[in-house]
Structure 1
């Protein structure tokens, strides 16, 4: 072990960068759909040893002292995000004749930008570096800080946060309800990096004891929480989830729109299987309506005829607001629309958190000043919703909708879900095919159910659609590239609206405790006589 550690510490130049890149790429095997979290017990010790060797002359300036650590973190992050997000490139190839030029940015550019967060983490950790356990605490603090910042800076994109590696199954997801994703990120990095102590054995016994305590508490808390079922309190809601499996190449083809719409109607109107109740709420995926209702009022009539008495359809659809009366431009929204049994639109919730470059062009006004009207006037320019609210569902329940990747933002869900009984997620992951992307997306949605203590109902165009209980267990699901429906009854659960907010606070406390521990250890080492 000491010989291997020494060789890693002494790596230089391209060999050090390549090792960091490979360590980061290897760590992706801990994420869905692979869920082999043990790889992190290799990747993070390697990262620690690489940072051990990131030294410069004592009298170097502050930036020069952290530059080697930043470079190591950037290469680690580039490997991690490239191996974990390569499938994003599939989205631009769906309409390759128009967007193939963006493939290098999608595959390499996004990982290169996200890697700056891990470069930042290592740059923050290096000044707090000390021997033994102190540097492990410093790394955990720095990565926790970086992952927290990644959840909101530059619109935020907390995809595949390190903490998910410690939550491959519901037993290991329950801790998120107590410490949130911030706490999970910190604790996961701390435990994963502990094998680095085997190299010089400084603080080894203390580190292994702390690791054992944390892992035992993690598993025990999960066991106790799963053994104590969430308390059903109130009416149930019979739900039908529709997964139409529509080919994206046909999605907006004017010649097949009617056929797509008929498919949706037929799936929604199917009699329930024996033993299943007649659905009270029918859920369609994101942009499942292949036209604007303002252009096709006959579609609302058809929906009213299809829906039975008291049934409510909640469908993902594009919505437009004409600006003719005010002289403004027409606005388009990616929305969730509620339609009653009379074919009337009774509510609509617009997507608030749009995908940059996918649904809108950042800095559109600035680009337009440079004559780039063609770029900013493309079909990607949607308008964000002003706010989110719960839709009134049958039996007096409240269903809070999140469109596509909105479900991956823990703080967003924690704030909005306090007024809901059910979380609804509509998405269209067909853009990414049968790649790790849809599995990763579904996993993050599972954890949101655990954090909020609310059941999750999810409809995806080509999968993964499913029903998840408040403890993250999959009640039923449809696989990728399958056409069908799920019928299920959802109880309403007694819950404390403060749970998710409390977990966020606990997570931040853990973050600062580890930061203080790292700082304390480096100060203690500096004061120790030579």
Structure 2
């Protein structure tokens, strides 16, 4: 019988990988990913180890086999749960769901990689699959998505490649790393199967992706900068227990006033910054005051505040007048000498809770509030709320849920959110500066950092997480945000890490006390680098929605291609 010649133009199907052999690849891969993440082995992460993780992951993910999804889900869930272990400081019960949910996306990335490997070279199949599912995880709002802990965060310390995020974003940076790693694993698989031409395609494709990323980083530099406004970042070193349980908000405010005053001993600044909800009273927006006068009410569980109009009058008269006029801009501190928080001509930015009307009710918002020296006030609200920490997604309407949440956190997480906005202030020379706002959890979302402002400020409460790797993860997020937007980012936290990142992603300054950067008290005086050309922007910032949609959908869309492999 005559034997048909084999079609050497079509590579054979990849051999199956049994559950145990798959585990030998994916568990070390995810273990390496954990070790490569910021704060585990090194504060800024270990890029080379992240590359090794992707070599191992891609080598296994593209191969079919029994229980492939379950094995990869288990490995990814354990890894993600480990990287989110600091959630246990809020409640240990939220760590397993976080790991399981985030792991589900990355197990789905393996399934997509196997489907694409029947149509594309391995270096493309693995990189597109990883990038698509990681981007989907970022695009979908919590609790069904979670943009925390991405591959790009592990490689922010590899500066020659970091700059490509200015063009293709954090997802594109991750794509380059996976493509280079999968090119290596794909070439090895082709050599094992004695397909030299395919090995050249795989290895060459991975190298091409890496070279393209390096070239983009070099061809598109960070925007040129010049010295901008001078900020004083105030970090009171406050523990979460004290912030939640100490009934003496006045003492907390006084400490920050004195810190602010001491931080200006070297000379005046343009803006004094306090972190998230560290202005320890509430305010009402003009719209809330008007709505209350028209009969709008608080939710039933907020009824202890009494009639809204009277509550708002009390807040304005006894709190805003006393603290803002007298303590921040005035000349006394709660009745004893010491001086105001600000020197004349200085603006003030602080985190505070603000009442606004929404849906016919009066709702609380977590906002950044700017007070200018002439007494004007403007606010920008938090966009992304922390699941269970700030929102229970409407379940706070049920009394058993409210009781459980209050027992855990000593408050009811019923905040509302609003789209990202910017705030504008004038420096001491009269030049206007437009700053973007990100409040705590917003820091993890790249859309919180547009490129049409002069710089960004992050106000964050990270005392929840003490000295954990969460603080290092936040710095990694911030570096990517600065690179992608082409704008400096100043971080002001209540316990650490407070820092200034320039548009290249370089850390300019960090608040340390005796070499320690967390759970310490102090101030950080920074002059923010701002674009020499205010109209300049990064390609990614200009096309961010398009890039993010493309990265999410490209891998899925390529499933429409016909299979290129012969059946076994």
TM-score normalised per structure 2: 0.76
Q: Alignment partner for residue 190 of structure 1, among 171, 175, 179?
A: 179
Counterparts of 1:492 and 1:135 in 2: how far apart (Å)?
A: 42
Q: 1:374 aligns with which of 403, 415, 437?
A: 403
Q: Is the 8 A contact 1:257 1:290 kept in 2?
A: yes
RMSD: 3.1
1:265 aligns with 2:257: yes
Give me the whole-angstrom Cα distance separating, in 1, the residues matched to 2:25 and 2:216.
36
Aligned to 2:492, what secondary structure does the other structure show? strand
Q: CA offsets, 1:397-422, max 9 Å, x none? A: 111111002122123434xx43x211
Report deviation, 1:245: 0.8
1:12 maps to what in 2? 19
Which one has the largest radius of gyration? 2
Q: 1:338·1:346 contact (CA, 8 Å) conserved in 2?
A: yes
What is the CA-CA distance between 1:513 and the residue it aligns to?
Answer: 6.6
Aligned to 1:159: 148
**Runs of at least 5 residues in structure 1 that lack an aligned partner in the other structure:** 1-7, 57-67, 93-101
How many Å separate the matches in 2 of 1:345 and 1:382? 28
2:448 & 2:526 partners in 1: Cα distance? 27
Contact 2:147-2:444 within 8 A present in 1 as well: yes
Answer yes or no: is 1:296 the counterpart of 2:319: yes
1:435-487 CA-to-partner distances (Å, cap 9, x unmatched) read: 11111111111111111111111101111111111111111111222322121
Tell me the distance in 2 between the aligned counterparts of 1:376 and 1:430: 19
For the 8 Å contact 1:455–1:468, the answer to whether it is kept is: yes
Q: CA deviation at 1:517?
A: 7.4
Residues 84 and 376 from structure 1, CA distance in 2 versus in 1: closer, same or farther, beyond 3 angstroms? closer
| Distance of 1:321 and 1:514 partners within structure 2 | 42
2:518 to 455, 464, 480: 480
Shift of 1:47: 2.8
Q: How many angstroms does 1:258 deviate by?
A: 2.2
Displacement after TM superposition at 1:250 (Å): 1.2
Deviation of 1:497 after TM superposition, in Å, equals: 4.4
The equivalences for 1:198-213 within 5 A come to 198-201=188-191, 202=195, 203-213=198-208
Residue matched to 2:500: 467
Cα separation, partners in 2 of 1:246 and 1:412, compared to 1, 3 Å: closer
Tell me the alpha carbon deviations over residues 137-196 of structure 1, each in whole angstroms, 9 at most, x when there is no partner. Answer: 212111111111111224342111122233224443211011012322322222222332
Task: Note if 1:44 corresponds to 2:33.
Answer: no
In structure 1, the residue matched to 2:275 is 285
CA contact (8 A) 2:350 2:368 kept: yes
How big is each residue's C-alpha offset from its partner over 1:259-314, in whole Å with a ceiling of 9 and x where there is no partner? 2211111111125465xx52011111111123335262321221111222221110
Task: Summarize the Cα distance change of 1:371–1:491 in structure 2 as closer, same or farther, 3 Å threshold.
Answer: closer
Deviations 1:296-351 (A, max 9, x none): 2321221111222221110012233599xx9x765222111112336x46111121
Which one has a larger percent helix, Structure 1 or Structure 2? 1
In the alignment of these two chains, the number of paired residues is 482
Instruction: Mark the runs of 5 or more structure 2 residues left unpaired by the alignment.
Output: 1-14, 284-314, 331-339, 512-516
1:1-25 superposed Cα distances (whole Å, 9 cap, x missing partner): xxxxxxx965435x74575344213
**Matched-pair contact (CA < 8 Å) for 1:238–1:487:** yes
2:423 is aligned with 1:391: yes
In 2, distance between residues paired with 1:498 and 1:215? 20
Q: Which residue of 2 aligns with 1:140?
A: 127
Matched position secondary structure for 1:492: strand
Residues 1:70 and 2:69 aligned together: yes
Match for residue 463 of structure 2 among 426, 430, 453: 430
Residue aligned with 2:97, SS: helix
Match of 2:490 in 1: 457
Find the aligned partners of 2:62 and 2:529 in 1 and give their Cα distance.
Answer: 53
- The answer on whether the counterparts of 2:380 and 2:421 sit within 8 Å (CA) in structure 1 is yes
Counterpart of 2:107? 119
